[in-house]
Amino acid sequence: MHKTILTIILLLHTYFIISQNRIERSNALLDDLVTDGYVIGASGSYSVDGVVTWEAATGYADKSTRKKFTLDTQVRTASIAKTMTAVAVMQLVEQGLVDINLPIDTYIPEFIQKSETKITTKHLLSHTSGMAGYKNKNEIENQINYSSLLEAYNLFKNRKLNTKPGTTYAYSSYGYVVLGLLIEHVSGLSYESYMQHYIWDKADMKHTGIEKPELICLQSTTLYNRTPEGTLKKAVPNNLSNRIPGGGLYSTVNDLIKFGNALINNHFIQQETFKRMIDYHHLNNANSRYGLGFRLYGSFLNKADIVGHSGSQTGATTQLFVIPRLKTVIAIVANTSGSAKEVATATRELIDTSQLKD
């Protein structure tokens, strides 16, 4: 009897130590981003089998006022927006409303096709359209408010392609503006309305939306930047209306976890469609490690093992990993640009930590 009780006590003690070890390791990885001077504030989270088993926040949402960074702090998602937009497009594909191999002007009459080889939806999703990205720093740090996606499209619609569509991987947020227009034309809804109803509401993402200069979110954070010399300072806010479907959203760390779990559990799209999105796009002359709206972070032979997206823009660095094989979703969001390498490294190290058994 005493031996049985002792065994139970030892098992409980071991469970406590392993659990604490996992949580302490996770906390340390996040805290180091602040203490080592890479970001002002950050939050991190991971879920396994749909259950959040760790979540934490560290640092400040506003250092000057000592406002703490919390799990509810809303941060620019930057390019993680592309993954959400791509899923929305593939929903329309599943409904038979879009064929990704047809020229994009099949669906968007305003889209100008001057090249002999036509840009398709697949080209835009995989960044192989030949469209250029931002022309200069003024477009990156945009200060103009564009009232619609069509108005934002007018900014770059007459520019020449850099390469023939389908031949070269070249990252372009403007390509995703066109995909936002596709969603609007095919669905009959505004981009915002479609995303709200078919993506954010569907995954119960209550703290995600489009950043608008006229709307002040109570949970929003001050924007910071880390200079190449390592100095942390407030960033000059820019206007994201020239890139909304490709990088104009805000969210929280656990809303991103919900998004990842909705993908794994086929709440947005069918499993076969998701597999199609996380397949290499098979360009013979490029090792882009990019599918349709997803970066492929796995090994060279199995790039779909870890998928997701990174995000980096003024006042934000974000990283989302979705690991279908492990039914695991991991995210870190930070309010500081210029720290992409460090945030990505911390998020990747959380993969092993998240799998420690309690």
pLDDT of residue 112: 85
HSE-CB at 225 with a 13 A cutoff on CA atoms is 11
pLDDT for 218 beyond 80: no
Q: Does position 178 have pLDDT exceeding 80, yes or no?
A: yes
The SS3 call for residue 29 is helix
Reported confidence tier of residue 356, pLDDT bands at 50, 70, 90: confident
CA separation, residue 240 to residues 72, 134, 213 (Å): 21, 12, 9
Residue spans per domain, the chain? 2-354
What is the CATH superfamily name and number for domain 2-354? DD-peptidase/beta-lactamase superfamily (3.40.710.10)
Which pair of structure tokens corresponds to residue 319? Answer: 């990283």
pLDDT, tens digit (0-9, with 9 covering 90-100), for 106-159: 999 999 888 789 999 999 999 999 999 999 999 999 999 999 999 999 999 999
For residues 7-39, b (16+ Cβ closer than 10 Å) or e, as one string?
eeeeeeeeeeeeeeebbebbeebbbebbeeebb
**Residue 3's pLDDT band (boundaries 50, 70, 90)?**
very low
Is 352 buried (19+), middle (13-18) or exposed (0-12) by CB count in 10 A?
exposed
Give the model's pLDDT for residue 11.
37
Average pLDDT, the chain: 91
